[in-house]
Amino acid sequence: MKQFKLEIISPNAIVFEKEIDLVILPGSEGDFGILKDHMPFLTSLRVGIVYIYLEKKIIETFLVTGGIVEVSQNRCSLLTEEVINTNSVSSKSKTEESSNKDEINLKRLKEKALEKLYYT
Amino acid sequence: MPSLKDLRNRISSVRSTKKITSAMKMVAAAKLKRAQDNAEKTRPYARKMSEIVNSLVENNKSKEFKFSEKKTKISRNILLIVCSADRGLCGGFNGSIIKFSKKLSEKIINDGGQVSYIFVGKKAYQSLQRFCGESVLDFFSDIANPSIKFELASSIRDKILELFLNDSMDECHLIYTEFKSAISQTVQSLKLLPLNALDTSDNNNSSKSYDFEPSEEEILNEIIPKNIAIQIHTALLENLASEQGSRMTAMDNATRNANDMIDNLTLFYNRSRQALITKELIEIISGAEAV
């Protein structure tokens, strides 16, 4: 499969930057996937989970609370104010050395997400 | 000629001043590191955001949208957001911001416009208070304690959008200091509102025609406030880094000057001491000869 570049940028850091095969995003009008050679595209996101695929496997998932996605010339940029890598949170709680802050953050985000979903 | 006691006092006072300035330099250096990291982290986000907005506005040249220039209006109310530091002792940092804002507002007034201000940071507010009188809309201070919050930028954003949308303000500029390196910072003004396309007509072929979801207008209305908030936020972060950098260099210079001064004073002190001893000896010898 041909690959393209995805970058997830938050105000605090570049969270993710890699060549990938496919990304599934929670668009405000419904979920959508982006592959290589997608046409220039600009949309807003709702609360949801971003799935990133490489070689037919999910390599990372992120929880986002909204944001903007821009696709142009085989570059997909996701700009979001709040983003959490769900892998890191679940693996941490498995090993029971849970960093409380992350969990609280995740909980808060989930509550926010549910609230938003409830109202829309 | 000062007495030896005076000289000794002088030397010790310069020494203690040097201690203070070198301690301030250390503190500024530590804070600079942190502020610089923060400023650099936000940069990619802000850059990407303004890129997207610029290309959107470029595509929208002909149409009039919510945040575009109002062509019907003639009189101009201009809002300046002036970012400065809360504290002094940082070289020419506050001075150059104040000078820049004063110049800009005088230019606007000469062109027949009206100026109002929002101040972030005490120093510019204190010295421009008399100059701008009643037109100060808001004033924030102590923003960087313990760290600059995004909420501050959002609240400023909400304020200026409200002013812009109910027509009490036509243009908004942000004055801040761009951080280039620890020794070089430049005062800059950034136009936040209204948005109009940059005059880069020659590279029109590179402008992309996007597919929009849900619609171009909705996206614009969502992305522009976001962009303004992040631009204000980065400006505040850059400003803080510049302040610390400027303070570090200023304090470094002060320490070096204090060193020079101590050297000179010590030399002078030793010379006068020697002169005094010689004088006394001559007196004794000539006294003995006379007997």
ipTM of the complex: 0.71
b vs e for B51-82, b when ≥16 Cβ sit within 10 Å of the residue's Cβ?
A: ebbbbbbbebeeeeeebbeeeeeeeebbbbbb
**pLDDT score of A1:** 66
CATH number, domain of B172, equals: 3.40.1380.10
**Residue A102, in any domain of the structure:** no
Domain that holds residue A81: 4-87
Residues B97 and B239 in one domain: yes
Over residues A114-118, the mean pLDDT reads 74
Number of domain units in chain A: 1
Q: For chain A, what percent of residues have pLDDT higher than 70?
A: 85
Residues B12 and B121 in one domain: no
Residues B58 and B11 in one domain: no
Query: Mean pLDDT score of chain B, rounded to an integer?
Result: 87
Assess contact for A21 and A38: CB atoms under 8 A: no
A74 touches chain B (CB under 8 A): no
Residue B194 has pLDDT above 90, yes or no: no
Residues B157 and B193 in one domain: yes
| Residue B42: both structure tokens together | 């936000």
Count how many residues are written for chain B.
Answer: 291
Global confidence as pTM: 0.81
Over residues B81-86, the mean pLDDT reads 92
Which amino acid appears at position B274 of this protein? Q
CATH number, domain of A16, equals: 2.60.15.10
B205 touches chain A (CB under 8 A): no
Contact B212 A43 (CB under 8 A): yes
Residue numbers in B near A78 (CB within 8 A): none
Q: Where does the pLDDT of residue B203 fall: very low under 50, low under 70, confident under 90, or very high at 90 and above?
A: very low
**pLDDT score of A119:** 67
What are the backbone dihedrals phi and psi of residue B145, each rounded to the nearest 5 degrees, phi first?
-120, 105
Nearest residue of B to residue A9 by CA position? Answer: B45
Contact B213 A72 (CB under 8 A): no
Residue B205 has pLDDT above 60, yes or no: no
Distance from CA of B154 to the nearest CA of A (A): 12
**pLDDT score of B62:** 62
Q: Cα B230 from chain centroid?
A: 17
* pLDDT tens string B103-159: 999 998 888 888 899 999 999 998 888 887 778 888 888 887 778 888 888 899 999
**pLDDT score of B131:** 82
List Cα–Cα distances, B274 to B10, B134, B192, B262, B264, in angstroms. Answer: 18, 63, 67, 18, 15
Over residues B185-197, the mean pLDDT reads 83
Nearest residue of A to residue B231 by CA position? Answer: A11
Q: Cα A85 from chain centroid?
A: 8
CATH number, domain of B256, equals: 1.10.287.80
Contact A44 B211 (CB under 8 A): no
Assess contact for B57 and B223: CB atoms under 8 A: no
Q: Which of B37, B45, B226 best tests the A interface by mutation, with the highest count of A CBs <10 A?
A: B45
Helix/strand/coil percentages in chain B, nearest 5: 65, 15, 20
Query: Mean pLDDT score of chain A, rounded to an integer?
Result: 83
- CA–CA separation, B18 and B262 (whole Å): 9
Residues B88 and B175 in one domain: yes
Give the best-scoring range by mean pLDDT among A84-98, B15-29, B86-100: B15-29
Which amino acid appears at position B57 of this protein? V
Interface of B with A in 143-162 (CB under 8 A): 150
Residues B187 and B267 in one domain: no
What are the backbone dihedrals phi and psi of residue B118, each rounded to the nearest 5 degrees, phi first?
-125, 125
A37, burial (CB in 10 Å: exposed 0-12, middle 13-18, buried 19+): exposed
**What is the sign, positive or negative, of the torsion defined by CA atoms of B190, B191, B195, B201?**
negative
Domain that holds residue B32: 28-249
Residue B5 has pLDDT above 70, yes or no: yes
Residues B259 and B206 in one domain: no
Assess contact for B126 and B163: CB atoms under 8 A: no
- CA–CA separation, B214 and B137 (whole Å): 36
Distance from CA of A14 to the nearest CA of B (A): 7
Residue numbers in A near B45 (CB within 8 A): 9-11, 79
Residue B11 has pLDDT above 60, yes or no: yes
B214 touches chain A (CB under 8 A): yes
Give me the residues paired with residue A79 across strands: A9, A68
Residue A106 has pLDDT above 70, yes or no: yes
**pLDDT score of B212:** 84
Assess contact for B153 and B233: CB atoms under 8 A: yes
Residues B229 and B259 in one domain: no
- CA–CA separation, B79 and B175 (whole Å): 11
Over residues B41-64, the mean pLDDT reads 82
Beta-carbon pairs below 8 A across chains A and B: 66
